[in-house]
C-alpha cells in the first residue's frame, strides 16, 4: 500500500527523469472510475498539449504541475503503481491510464484493483488544503502534536490514519510508529503524557524517514504490490518490526507479535512493549 514513503520514492523517481519541459501528447485510459468525477474525454482534454512544469508530493498525493496553472493529482490508494516506460514497451491489462510524453516516454498508471484516483484540476488546494501537516515538516512540531492530542478522545490508531489530522501515514507505518513509540493502538489520544507524545512524534518521523531511505515497502510478490517508477521493489520490508510479523518474536523483547483488528484495520502489536491501558 503506497503511503508517504512509497509515494515519496515514486516522486523522486519521476524527478530523476527531468520531466519539466516535456509535453503531453497523448492520453489513453480504459477505466473511467479512476478519473471520476471527470469524464474520460474531459480528463484527456485537460491534459492534452500541456507541458509538465514540476513534480512534487503532498501526503500520499503525486502532484504534477502543468502549464496554464493546471495540476495532475494522482493517488495510488491500494494497488496503484506509476511506471515510466518507452512508448513501445508492451502493455499489460492492469495499465489503465497511459500519459504519452514527447521523446517517446510514457507514464503508465497500473492498478490491479482500480482504487487509484487521478484528477486534473486548476484548484488543487481544494483537495490538498483538507490534509493535516506533513509529518516530516516543521509544522509537525512537538507543541502542535501535544496540543492536538490533548483535545481529542480518539484512539491513536484511527487518529493517525486520519489524513485530515496528519497526512501521509497508512496502516503499515502507523503500526510501526506505535511499536517504536511503545504505545498501544487503542490508547486515547488525550491520555498521553507529554513524554509519550514526544516519543510518538519522533517515532513517526523515524519510521517514515527509514521507509524513504529504503525506497518504500514492497510486501510479497503480488501483482499490485508497490513498485518504484523503474519497476524495482522497495527495500523497507526487511526492516518492519511488527507489520505482517504476527506470530514472530518482537525484536525488542522477544514476546510474540499479535495481529488484532482496530478501527476495522489489521493491526500488529507487541503485547508486552505496547501494553499501555489498551
Residues with active-site annotation: 2-3, 60, 265
- Count Cβ atoms below 10 Å from residue 42 Cβ, excluding itself: 12
Q: Which is nearer to DNA, 62 or 250 (CB)?
A: 62
**CA 165, chain centre distance (Å):** 15
Pull the grid cell for residue 16: 530523476
Q: Which is nearer to DNA, 53 or 258 (CB)?
A: 258
Q: Which is nearer to DNA, 46 or 110 (CB)?
A: 110
Q: Which is nearer to DNA, 114 or 199 (CB)?
A: 114
Whether a cis peptide bond, with omega within 30° of 0, leads into 37 is: yes
Minimum gap (Å) between residue 94 Cβ and DNA: 7
The vertex-7 CA angle with 6 and 9, nearest 5°, equals 65
Query: Cα separation of 222 and 245, whole Å?
Result: 18
Minimum gap (Å) between residue 102 Cβ and DNA: 31
What residues line the site for DNA (CB under 7 A)? 1, 3, 33, 59-60, 75, 77-79, 94, 112-115, 152-155, 158-159, 161, 163, 170-172, 220-224, 263-266
What residues contact 195, with CB distance under 8 A and at least 6 apart?
A: none
Q: Which of 89, 86, 13 is nearest to 55 (CA)?
A: 13
Q: Which is nearer to DNA, 52 or 76 (CB)?
A: 76
Minimum gap (Å) between residue 35 Cβ and DNA: 12
Minimum gap (Å) between residue 1 Cβ and DNA: 4
In the chain the first and final C-alpha atoms are separated, in Å, by 26
Give Dmax (Cα) for the chain: 59
Residue 23 pairs with which residues in a beta bridge?
Answer: 51
- Count Cβ atoms below 10 Å from residue 55 Cβ, excluding itself: 21
Amino acid at each position: 500500500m503506497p503511503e508517504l514513503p512509497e509515494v515519496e520514492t515514486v516522486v523522486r523517481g519521476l524527478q530523476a527523469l527531468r520531466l519539466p519541459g516535456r509535453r503531453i501528447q497523448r492520453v489513453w485510459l480504459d477505466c473511467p472510475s479512476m478519473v471520476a468525477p471527470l469524464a474520460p474525454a474531459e480528463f484527456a482534454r485537460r491534459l492534452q498539449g500541456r507541458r509538465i512544469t514540476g513534480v512534487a508530493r503532498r501526503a500520499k498525493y503525486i502532484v504534477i504541475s502543468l502549464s496554464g496553472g493546471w495540476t495532475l493529482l494522482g493517488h495510488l490508494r491500494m494497488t496503484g503503481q506509476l511506471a515510466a516506460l518507452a512508448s513501445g514497451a508492451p502493455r499489460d491489462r492492469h495499465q489503465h491510464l497511459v500519459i504519452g510524453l514527447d521523446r517517446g516516454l510514457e507514464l503508465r498508471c497500473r492498478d490491479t484493483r482500480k482504487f487509484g484516483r487521478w484528477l486534473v484540476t486548476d484548484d488543487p488546494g481544494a483537495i490538498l488544503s483538507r490534509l493535516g501537516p506533513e509529518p516530516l515538516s516543521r509544522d509537525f512540531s512537538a507543541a502542535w502534536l501535544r496540543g492536538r492530542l490533548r483535545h481529542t478522545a480518539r484512539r491513536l490508531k484511527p487518529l493517525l490514519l486520519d489524513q485530515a489530522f496528519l497526512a501521509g501515514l497508512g496502516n503499515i507505518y502507523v503500526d510501526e510508529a506505535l511499536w517504536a513509540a511503545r504505545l498501544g493502538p487503542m490508547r486515547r489520544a488525550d491520555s498521553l503524557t507529554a513524554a509519550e507524545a514526544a516519543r510518538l512524534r519522533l517515532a513517526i518521523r523515524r519510521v517514515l524517514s527509514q521507509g524513504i531511505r529504503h525506497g518504500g515497502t514492497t510486501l510479497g510478490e503480488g501483482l499490485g504490490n508497490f513498485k518504484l517508477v523503474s519497476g524495482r521493489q522497495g527495500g523497507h520490508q526487511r526492516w518492519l518490526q511488527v507489520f505482517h510479523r504476527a506470530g514472530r518474536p518482537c525484536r525488542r523483547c522477544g514476546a510474540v507479535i499479535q495481529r488484532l483488528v482496530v478501527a476495522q484495520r489489521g493491526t500488529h502489536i507487541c503485547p508486552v512493549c505496547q501494553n499501555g491501558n489498551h
